[in-house]
């Protein structure tokens, strides 16, 4: 189906998804997230030739949460290349995003960069190479989302920091195994600030448009990763981007993707487009209920996915 039908497709996706909006539960383990209105739905597509299509409440701004893990990995790969994989694995975890158990068995090497432990150790690596870790990440999002006014929601970042015990436990466990270089609290602060970067779906799809465009971001005019690294990153998103629901998402949607507990998900059709969806109600593993419905419907209608 031709890409110019996209607007009609997104309208249908929205219609299909509306009954699922408000289903599930808004994340409440971070008190500041518990306050959001669950009855929101928005979707945006950014194609590799620069077209933008939207449906729903696209002005809604939200913190990107775990979707930031993809940018953390990107910035870390730019600096470490293959050496990064000495500190974090590439295997699906099959456990919750905030699970601690594997870390003990696997001697402080997290399964992959998209669960919390893996993202936190990747932040630690990045922290060692950036003079202003929080500002550099914010600048990356500003440039790639084409909005120099993007901010960090300090209330969410501080709320997460205050309730950091589980993430702190992971970081300390990694430190005890020698897989952590900086002060735990410094790195956690950076990690929470990354999670609390505030965007709307259009900006989010733009920021991750390089994933569908062989590593090139058309908004910042930067080659962020090589084409090969981008393929590899998409492969990892396909196997691990949705925590312990990655298999189900692969089956239903068939695209590399990454979710966050604010209720957002990005997904990629390499060579074609990046899509971002937002709806705060989460299923039991912490993925947006209406978001997954929307992407499954989109995938079904466009009939192209990774396979
Ligand atoms: N900031 C959240 C946390 O560390 C991110 C988790 C998520 O989006 N899955 O718990």
260 CA to middle of ligand 1, Å? 7
Per the annotation, binding residues for substrate are 66, 116, 160, 167, 191, 243, 261
Residue 96 pLDDT class (50, 70, 90 cuts)? confident
Average pLDDT in the 156-171 region? 97
Residue 198's nearest CA partner among 137, 274, 288 is 137
The complex's ipTM? 0.96
* Nearest protein Cα to ligand 1, atom 6: 66
How far apart CA 223 and CA 40 sit, in angstroms, is 34
Average pLDDT in the 142-167 region? 97
Residue 79 pLDDT class (50, 70, 90 cuts)? very high
149 against 95, higher pLDDT: 149
Average pLDDT in the 149-165 region? 97
Tokens of 7: 């607007």
Burial (Cβ within 10 Å: 0-12, 13-18, ≥19) of residue 271: exposed
Average pLDDT in the 70-82 region? 98
pTM greater than 0.80: yes
* Residues classed as catalytic: 66, 69, 191, 243, 261
How far apart CA 42 and CA 59 sit, in angstroms, is 8
How far apart CA 154 and CA 129 sit, in angstroms, is 24
How far apart CA 197 and CA 64 sit, in angstroms, is 6
Residues 6 or more apart from 60 whose CB is under 8 A from it?
40, 42, 200, 201, 278
Of ligand 1's listed atoms, the one at least distance from the Cα of 192 is 1
Question: What pLDDT was estimated at residue 243?
Answer: 86
66 CA to middle of ligand 1, Å? 5
Average pLDDT in the 13-24 region? 98
Average pLDDT in the 247-268 region? 96
Contact 226, 216 (CB under 8 A): no
2 CA to middle of ligand 1, Å? 37
250 CA to middle of ligand 1, Å? 21
**What is the radius of gyration, based on Cα positions, of the chain?**
18
Residue 94 pLDDT class (50, 70, 90 cuts)? confident
Average pLDDT, the chain: 95
C-beta of 160 in contact with ligand 1 (< 6 A): yes
If one residue of 261, 282, 286 were mutated to test the ligand 1 pocket, choosing by the most ligand atoms within 8 A of its CB, it would be: 261
Domain 3-302 has CATH 3.30.565.10: no
The domain locations on the chain are 3-302
Query: Could you read off the pLDDT of 32-65 as tens digits, one per residue?
Result: 889 999 999 999 999 999 999 999 999 999 999 9
């Amino acid at each position: 189906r031709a890409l110019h039908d996209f607007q009609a497709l997104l309208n249908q996706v929205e219609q299909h998804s509306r009954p699922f909006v408000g289903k599930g539960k808004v994340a409440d383990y971070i008190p500041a997230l518990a306050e959001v209105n669950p009855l929101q739905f928005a979707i945006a597509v950014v194609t590799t030739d620069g077209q933008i299509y939207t449906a729903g409440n696209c002005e809604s701004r939200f913190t990107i949460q775990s979707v930031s893990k993809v940018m953390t990995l990107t910035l870390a790969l730019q600096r470490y290349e293959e050496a990064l994989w000495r500190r974090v694995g590439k295997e699906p975890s099959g456990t919750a995003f905030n699970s601690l158990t594997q870390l003990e068995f696997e001697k402080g090497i997290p399964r992959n960069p998209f669960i919390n432990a893996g993202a936190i150790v990747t932040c630690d690596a990045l922290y060692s190479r950036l003079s202003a870790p929080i500002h550099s990440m914010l600048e990356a999002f500003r440039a790639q989302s084409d909005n120099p006014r993007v901010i960090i929601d300090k209330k969410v970042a501080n709320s997460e920091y205050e309730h950091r015990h589980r993430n702190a436990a992971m970081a300390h466990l990694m430190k005890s195994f020698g897989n952590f270089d900086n002060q735990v609290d410094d790195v956690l602060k950076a990690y929470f600030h990354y999670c609390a970067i505030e965007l709307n779906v259009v900006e989010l799809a733009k920021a991750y448009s390089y994933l569908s465009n062989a590593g090139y971001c058309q908004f910042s005019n930067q080659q962020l990763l090589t084409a090969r690294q981008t393929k590899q990153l998409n492969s990892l998103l396909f196997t691990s981007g949705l925590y312990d629901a990655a298999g189900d998402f692969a089956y239903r949607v068939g695209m590399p993707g990454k979710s966050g507990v604010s209720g957002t998900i990005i997904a990629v059709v390499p060579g074609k487009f990046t899509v971002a969806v937002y709806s705060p109600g989460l299923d039991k593993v912490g993925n947006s209920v209406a978001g997954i419905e929307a992407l499954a419907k989109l995938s079904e209608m466009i009939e192209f996915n990774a396979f």
